[in-house]
Structure 1
Amino acid sequence: MGVAHDTVVRTPSPGDSPAPRDEIARSWERSRSSGLRPTDSLEQFSVSDVDRRSRLLAAAEPVLDRMESMLARTRYCVLLSDRDARLVDLRFGSHQVRDAVTATGTVLGRPFSEETSGTNSIATVHELRVPVAVRGDEHYIDAMKGFSCYGHPLIHPVTRRIEGVLDITYLVDEDNPLLQPLLVQSATDIQSRLLEETRWSEQLLFAAFQRSNAARRGAPVIAMADEILLENTSASALICAEDHAALRAQIEGSTRRDGTIESMSLRGGQPVRIRWERPVSGAGVVVEIDMVDAPTVIDAMARRPSARTAAVIGEPGSGRTTALTEWAGACPVDRFDAADLAVGDPTGWLTGIVSRLDDGDATVVVENVHLLAELMACALTAAIATGVARVGISSNPLGDTAFERRRLVTGCREQTTMTPLRLRRHEIPSIARTMLARHGHDLHFTPAAITALVGYDWPGNLAELSDEIDDLVGQRSAGAITDRDLIRPTRPTPTDCDRNPIDTALHEAITNELHRHGGNKKATADHLGISRTTLYKRMRDLHIPG
């Protein structure tokens, strides 16, 4: 599994063996560090389905057919893995070699990374991105020590990404000097066919990327499509795999031709502004990245108007309480919650608030005023108007709420609307990482986990995301959090159903207009040119909360 350019080094019996080659020794150490043992079996790792229509297989199949013909009736086999180090094609020269190889668990769909199969000429080539030969006892897994192999990486000629690994495997005593040049030529042919298979739309994406890169004089630019990632040097130094996943999750779900994300925090904490554009439908996107200055807490406080009365409006879990706490500052706060009226005395509850409103040094916070009865909302409005204390209130989006509750909220001098988390997906990666860091554990998200977090609608907003992080930390204290570890984003929900393009565009239009009009359904319906009855029906059909 790989091409070697050095002298063959076999591992003699213990006691007189020389040190193994550096690349083999380091691979063994990586395999050990992953928790793999030499006695482990490949069969402990699950097999996944192989997509026979993939671009890699389309490019490789004629070459593999030719290799299979050349190696017929020999004890050699050809293995092909994809960019995820998963076996996607196997060709055997004879039944004997097929039986010997498959007996080790080497079958289609098997993951062949160093974490799952140790040192060999697929896993190690995939890790190092260079040709490697592994012979006999140099294999880490005991079951593989009866084989030797050459492996060669398959690098896309345009993107320079590794698309897979081509490997020739044989019994230890069957080495042949012609195998290495055969492997190199076959790998070169597959890479050439990968270029030929490049679609017209992707050629447009490459051209758009090059134009943007030239116009921006080296400022960060990346281009993304289903199986393509291009980036210039400055983008490569700035953007990590987590950031790529976050960008894909936010941009690729949009039906728009272009768009802007005014502020997004990268994995390293750098705030940036994102502009993206599709060269043509289906061709992926070109993304331009600009640095922005992060506002400090002092700047934010200086911009916040000073007001005796303030209202924070938003969905449950969107950060209303936190916003009111920031508004109150360091002052002691008397807190009241309209939810307590479900089991409490309304008269006593209101009397307690009124008694504090007469204190000019007091700061009073009343949560969930959307739950108040009309008479209670009217009484509280009057008490606030005649009082002297600072008052902050929180409410669900107003929508079609009754007059007195609406007057209570809109009568406040300062009003802040908390945007639902699903409408600021670009902030989810940085918020999730910040929440995770507060626990003090050595944990991090994989790109696939970031993609799942961004793709979930979070009906419970920040509170639900915080609960998700707490639950994840309860499961482990170190290592990588993968998409399989997530709890809420993997649950089937109505919003997970596939929508056709028209429904997707309508969902996005209604959601954006609801946000722009502060949840006011009448204004949203008027702007969209539909009746409120139709709006309600569309919201129900498309599973839009509110």
Structure 2
Amino acid sequence: MHRVADRRIKIAAARADFLRFGHAETQSVPGLVAASWQRSFSAGVDAVSSQAAFHSDLDLTGRLMRCSEPVIARLSDEMAQMPLSIVLTDYRARILSRSETDKTIGTLLDEVSLAPGFNYAEASVGTNGIGTVLESGQPLYIVGPEHFLEHLQPFACAGSPIRDPLTGRVEGVLDISCLSEDASPLMHSLVRSAAHEIERNLLVDRSQRQQALFEAYVRVDARTRGAVMAIGGTVVMGNAVAQSLFAPDEQWTIHEHARYLMISPGQPIDQIELSSGKIVQIRGKRVVVGPDVAGIVVVVDIKSEPVLVTGQERPAAADLTVTQPIPAAAESAILSDASSLLGKRASSSLVAAFDVGAALLVLGEAGGGKVSLLAELYRHVVPAGRTVVHCADDVNDHGLGNQLEDERSTASIQPTLYVFRNIDRLTPAAVAELDAFLRERATSGRPRDGVAVTVSQPDLHADLLAARPYTRLLHHFETSVTVAPLRHRIDDLPDIVTRVLARRAGLRPATVSAGAMRVISRYPWPGNIRQLEQALDTALLTRPVGAIQAEDLPAYCHGGAPRLLSALEAGERDLIVGALHKAAGNRMRAAESLGIARSSLYRKLKSFGITVTES
């Protein structure tokens, strides 16, 4: 007992020297703790005044919570006689849940903000049993003066990372905290054992998703003679018929379109044309496990195949639907600007609707270029026409009456496409005005005038269920067209980048190198074309003329993280990418310059989806 007290006194003295001089004799301090003190100091953590930040955007219904709940409940029952708290965090050190066996310990932990929603990352609150576990990637036991913050000194905590058994990715931390006088080294082994149990639950949970997808695939394959494929996460399956009927590039196209159908609203049924000229129908069934979609099983039928006509391959006429002819200029623009299946389809559908004067409902994610595409294609269909755009906020603030009166005088001699952007944001009064305009337009007899409205696709589905005001307008529209997000139109990226760069660079000779285009093609672009424009603007500031290089693009472009990052995460990612560029891709030198362990750097690279190529 005396040896434990003496050891803590020595650690406290070493910490005091470190805070005073920036360095200290650390023979009595564990190496991981000493390294954490240095990182905390370098991050600007104030040992007296720093506080944990609060976040409200927590995932309280995900796999980690689901797989941890029974383990935490059992652990709480077994440790009911000890005054301690069991804390679960996500991979960003944000506390998801806290369960205590004693009200007193709960009150004390509230005073230091060790509570749901607060972030205990090492860069925010210094050395502790959560953030330091994430930085080191291993279980730790932090007691009393080993904490960097003054107000954490009374506590002891044992934390262990929780890893996904298949990917190896750290999903969160399980932590047991108590007062230092109640601490026991057994807490260390206890929390490790519980964390391993949660990891087993994660494995079972993931296996259930894959098993459900496999079972659905087997059932569909047993009753279908045609091509059957299953797609979910990293799993792709296909029967012998699918392998024999479709070339590898055709299979890839079907897989990607199936992923698109899996996340799109409505029934997952569609008909597409493959690069070979085959027309195929895809009929899918989503596989749902709990609240999540585990994947999709599709049956693929060939509706028509290319036939040789005068030395050229053309689609057979049978089974094809004849639509309105597309004017030559518009068709040329569509084929030159859209290489992807979904891009061509959206453009063709819009042109066909313009040609017959159909009122259009255009769906798609924010920043996807819906309004720009409408204006451009209308100009091709009606060369003498113009496009007038009304934003929802302007209509809400100023009404439609005065604006439309001014526009109609010009419209009397010039065909006009009226575009109303984001009608899901309209107030009831604005909806009533637009409803009156659409009724008048339907009886005005101006066949070359057009009207289109845009809605964010996810919002449309949710709002229909909630009966929001703008749903009163939907009966006015004969046709709906979905503009797919940029991540599902990768084949269009080279053309889109060229056009955006030409518009942003003006007369400057600016191009994009092959390396930069590879980075652009790998990034998922959650902000779509609007975000791509911002990225190229940033690159042009770095390299005003000449070929834009990969390092000229914003740091986030080098990451493939399948989520939007917080401002703090984005800043951390930018520092990592900058360090890697300076180190020519050498991870060891980059980790040294950042003051973190290589294991921490590898974890962050995986979390942010950053790919590294050494020079």
- TM-score, normalised to structure 1, is 0.44
Judging by fraction of residues, say which structure has more helix: 2
By relative contact order (CA 8 Å, sep 6+), the higher-ranking structure is 1
- TM-score, normalised to structure 2, is 0.40
